[in-house]
């Protein structure tokens, strides 16, 4: 069962003005880093997998946003009411985005974000995995 939480760290205006993030070369995955709690949040726009069941306590958008902070023991699928979608620079295939104890790697197979504990998530059109 995927963990979920309500997380509303940024208004859409903040997300669109921020440059502390990146997008995959295809633009399908966009990620934003939040300095205030040393966390990353990624949104995947298009995927071929079905959504997992919506948690009963989630009345917001479900299934497209994934989160991780420096102390997480596992990446999470998020229930959110805002957006991080913005105008971020591309993170070319083979490049790494690093902030604090979190790093994200862009590959042709998708984007993987991990913290120093080894927790994280891997996102692609075909598969979304929490670990």
> Does position 12 have pLDDT exceeding 80, yes or no?
no
Give one DSSP letter per residue of 56-82, joined into a string.
TT--SEEEEEEEEETT-SS-EEEEESS
- Convert the pLDDT of each residue in 109-130 to its tens digit: 999 999 999 999 999 999 999 9
Answer for the pair 28, 45: CB distance below 8 angstroms, yes or no.
Answer: yes
Q: Where are the alpha helices (DSSP H) in 2-121?
A: 12-17
Q: Give me the pLDDT at residue 19, please.
A: 57
Q: What is the CA radius of gyration of the chain?
A: 13
Mean pLDDT of the chain: 88
130 phi/psi in degrees, rounded to 5: -100, 140
């Amino acid at each position: 069962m995927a963990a979920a939480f309500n997380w509303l760290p940024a208004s859409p205006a903040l997300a669109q003005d921020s440059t502390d993030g990146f997008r995959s070369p295809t633009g399908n995955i966009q990620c934003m880093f939040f300095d205030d709690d040393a966390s990353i949040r990624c949104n995947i726009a298009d995927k071929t997998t079905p959504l997992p069941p919506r948690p009963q306590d989630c009345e917001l958008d479900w299934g497209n946003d994934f989160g991780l902070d420096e102390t997480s023991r596992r990446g999470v699928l998020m229930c959110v009411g805002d957006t991080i979608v913005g105008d971020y620079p591309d993170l070319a295939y083979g490049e790494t985005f690093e902030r604090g104890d979190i790093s994200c790697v862009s590959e042709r197979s998708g984007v993987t974000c991990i913290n120093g504990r080894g927790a994280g998530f891997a996102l692609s059109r075909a598969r979304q995995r929490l670990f």
